[in-house]
Amino acid sequence: MLLLAVTFTVKQPGLAADGSPTPTGTPVTQQDIMRVAATMYCPLCVGERLDVCEIPLCREMKVVIGEKLAVGETPAQIRTFFVKQYGPVVLGEPPKQGLHLITWLLPAAALLLIGIWLFLRLQRETSAPVTITAGTPDAQTKATGVSDDPYLQQVEKETEKW
Protein backbone atom coordinates (compact mmCIF):
# COMPACT_ATOMS: atom_id res chain seq x y z
CA MET A 1 0.00 0.00 0.00
CA LEU A 2 2.79 2.37 1.00
CA LEU A 3 4.75 1.42 -2.11
CA LEU A 4 1.71 2.26 -4.21
CA ALA A 5 1.50 5.67 -2.52
CA VAL A 6 5.20 6.30 -3.23
CA THR A 7 4.74 5.27 -6.86
CA PHE A 8 1.70 7.53 -7.27
CA THR A 9 3.51 10.43 -5.63
CA VAL A 10 6.57 10.23 -7.81
CA LYS A 11 5.05 9.15 -11.13
CA GLN A 12 2.69 12.08 -11.62
CA PRO A 13 4.63 14.63 -13.67
CA GLY A 14 4.41 18.12 -12.27
CA LEU A 15 2.10 17.13 -9.40
CA ALA A 16 2.76 17.34 -5.68
CA ALA A 17 1.65 14.66 -3.23
CA ASP A 18 -1.77 16.27 -2.86
CA GLY A 19 -2.31 16.42 -6.64
CA SER A 20 -1.54 20.12 -7.05
CA PRO A 21 1.04 21.26 -9.59
CA THR A 22 4.60 21.53 -8.32
CA PRO A 23 6.21 24.98 -8.22
CA THR A 24 9.00 23.79 -10.48
CA GLY A 25 6.66 22.00 -12.89
CA THR A 26 9.13 19.11 -13.21
CA PRO A 27 8.24 15.52 -12.43
CA VAL A 28 9.76 13.81 -9.40
CA THR A 29 11.09 10.37 -10.24
CA GLN A 30 12.13 7.47 -8.05
CA GLN A 31 15.73 8.18 -9.06
CA ASP A 32 15.41 11.74 -7.71
CA ILE A 33 14.20 10.40 -4.39
CA MET A 34 16.95 7.78 -4.22
CA ARG A 35 19.60 10.35 -5.15
CA VAL A 36 18.64 12.43 -2.09
CA ALA A 37 18.16 9.34 0.11
CA ALA A 38 21.66 8.12 -0.79
CA THR A 39 23.12 11.16 0.97
CA MET A 40 21.42 10.32 4.28
CA TYR A 41 21.49 7.46 6.76
CA CYS A 42 18.79 5.60 8.64
CA PRO A 43 18.36 7.07 12.13
CA LEU A 44 17.71 3.59 13.58
CA CYS A 45 20.10 1.28 11.71
CA VAL A 46 23.81 1.69 12.31
CA GLY A 47 25.64 2.79 9.16
CA GLU A 48 22.90 1.89 6.68
CA ARG A 49 22.09 4.40 3.99
CA LEU A 50 18.51 5.52 3.62
CA ASP A 51 18.25 4.48 -0.03
CA VAL A 52 18.90 0.79 0.79
CA CYS A 53 17.16 0.55 4.15
CA GLU A 54 13.70 -1.02 4.00
CA ILE A 55 12.35 -0.58 7.54
CA PRO A 56 9.01 1.28 7.75
CA LEU A 57 10.59 4.50 9.05
CA CYS A 58 12.93 4.71 6.07
CA ARG A 59 10.10 4.04 3.63
CA GLU A 60 8.16 6.90 5.23
CA MET A 61 11.22 9.15 5.01
CA LYS A 62 11.48 8.40 1.29
CA VAL A 63 7.82 9.37 0.85
CA VAL A 64 8.52 12.66 2.65
CA ILE A 65 11.55 13.23 0.42
CA GLY A 66 9.32 12.75 -2.63
CA GLU A 67 6.75 15.17 -1.27
CA LYS A 68 9.37 17.80 -0.48
CA LEU A 69 11.00 17.44 -3.89
CA ALA A 70 7.56 17.80 -5.50
CA VAL A 71 6.99 21.15 -3.79
CA GLY A 72 10.37 22.41 -4.95
CA GLU A 73 12.62 21.98 -1.92
CA THR A 74 16.32 21.41 -2.57
CA PRO A 75 18.21 18.35 -1.28
CA ALA A 76 20.03 20.59 1.23
CA GLN A 77 16.72 21.84 2.61
CA ILE A 78 15.44 18.26 2.87
CA ARG A 79 18.58 17.16 4.74
CA THR A 80 18.20 20.13 7.10
CA PHE A 81 14.59 19.11 7.76
CA PHE A 82 15.62 15.56 8.70
CA VAL A 83 18.54 16.78 10.83
CA LYS A 84 16.10 18.92 12.82
CA GLN A 85 13.80 15.93 13.19
CA TYR A 86 16.28 13.09 13.90
CA GLY A 87 19.58 14.82 14.66
CA PRO A 88 22.92 14.76 12.82
CA VAL A 89 22.92 10.95 12.76
CA VAL A 90 21.01 11.10 9.45
CA LEU A 91 24.02 12.75 7.81
CA GLY A 92 26.25 9.78 8.64
CA GLU A 93 29.02 11.99 9.96
CA PRO A 94 29.26 14.54 12.74
CA PRO A 95 29.03 18.21 11.75
CA LYS A 96 32.33 20.02 11.25
CA GLN A 97 31.54 22.73 13.77
CA GLY A 98 31.32 23.31 17.49
CA LEU A 99 32.05 20.48 19.89
CA HIS A 100 31.72 17.93 17.08
CA LEU A 101 34.92 19.35 15.58
CA ILE A 102 36.86 17.33 18.18
CA THR A 103 35.78 14.09 16.48
CA TRP A 104 37.41 15.30 13.27
CA LEU A 105 40.60 16.70 14.81
CA LEU A 106 41.35 14.07 17.47
CA PRO A 107 42.36 11.22 15.09
CA ALA A 108 44.61 13.54 13.06
CA ALA A 109 46.25 14.89 16.21
CA ALA A 110 46.79 11.35 17.54
CA LEU A 111 48.43 10.25 14.28
CA LEU A 112 50.66 13.32 14.31
CA LEU A 113 51.76 12.72 17.90
CA ILE A 114 52.47 9.04 17.24
CA GLY A 115 54.52 9.97 14.18
CA ILE A 116 56.57 12.51 16.15
CA TRP A 117 57.12 9.98 18.95
CA LEU A 118 58.27 7.29 16.48
CA PHE A 119 60.60 9.73 14.71
CA LEU A 120 62.22 10.82 17.98
CA ARG A 121 62.45 7.24 19.25
CA LEU A 122 64.12 5.99 16.06
CA GLN A 123 66.45 8.97 15.96
CA ARG A 124 67.53 8.33 19.55
CA GLU A 125 68.02 4.59 18.91
CA THR A 126 70.14 5.08 15.80
CA SER A 127 72.29 7.88 17.16
CA ALA A 128 73.07 6.35 20.57
CA PRO A 129 76.80 5.44 20.79
CA VAL A 130 77.71 1.85 21.61
CA THR A 131 80.02 1.59 24.59
CA ILE A 132 81.84 -1.51 25.77
CA THR A 133 82.39 -1.80 29.47
CA ALA A 134 85.22 -3.72 31.06
CA GLY A 135 82.99 -6.49 32.41
CA THR A 136 81.48 -7.57 29.10
CA PRO A 137 82.76 -10.54 27.11
CA ASP A 138 83.53 -8.25 24.14
CA ALA A 139 85.90 -6.21 26.28
CA GLN A 140 87.63 -9.36 27.56
CA THR A 141 88.04 -10.67 24.03
CA LYS A 142 89.57 -7.39 22.86
CA ALA A 143 91.87 -7.19 25.87
CA THR A 144 93.12 -10.80 25.97
CA GLY A 145 92.24 -12.06 22.52
CA VAL A 146 90.45 -15.08 24.05
CA SER A 147 86.72 -15.28 24.74
CA ASP A 148 85.06 -17.11 27.64
CA ASP A 149 82.06 -17.95 25.51
CA PRO A 150 82.28 -21.60 24.33
CA TYR A 151 80.46 -20.82 21.12
CA LEU A 152 82.91 -18.04 20.21
CA GLN A 153 85.83 -20.34 21.11
CA GLN A 154 84.44 -22.98 18.70
CA VAL A 155 84.05 -20.35 15.97
CA GLU A 156 87.65 -19.21 16.50
CA LYS A 157 88.90 -22.81 16.24
CA GLU A 158 86.95 -23.36 13.01
CA THR A 159 88.18 -20.12 11.44
CA GLU A 160 91.81 -20.92 12.32
CA LYS A 161 91.60 -24.02 10.12
CA TRP A 162 90.88 -21.90 7.08
| Residue 71 is assigned to a structural domain of this protein | yes
Q: Among the three residues 50, 75, 91, which one is the final residue of a domain in this structure?
A: 91
What local confidence, expressed as pLDDT, does residue 18 receive? 44
Q: What is the pLDDT of residue 81?
A: 94
Within a domain: 159: no
List CB contacts of 14: < 8 A, sequence separation 6 or more. 21, 22, 25, 26, 27
CA distance 59 to 2: 8
152 in a structural domain: no
How many domains does the structure of the chain reveal?
Answer: 2
The per-residue pLDDT string of the chain (162 residues; one tens digit each, 9 = 90 and over) reads: 333 344 444 444 444 444 444 555 668 889 999 999 988 998 888 788 888 888 999 899 999 999 999 999 999 999 999 999 988 888 877 667 777 678 778 888 899 999 999 999 888 888 766 665 655 555 555 555 666 788 888 888 888 877
pTM for the full predicted model:
0.49
Return the ∠ at Cα 110 (arms to 112 and 126), rounded to 5°: 50
In a shared domain, residues 104 and 84: no
Q: Which domain holds residue 59?
A: 2-91
CATH number for position 81: 1.10.8.640
Alpha carbon distance 87, 129 (integer Å) = 58
Both 73 and 110 in one domain: the answer is no
8 A C-beta contact, residue 104 and residue 93: no
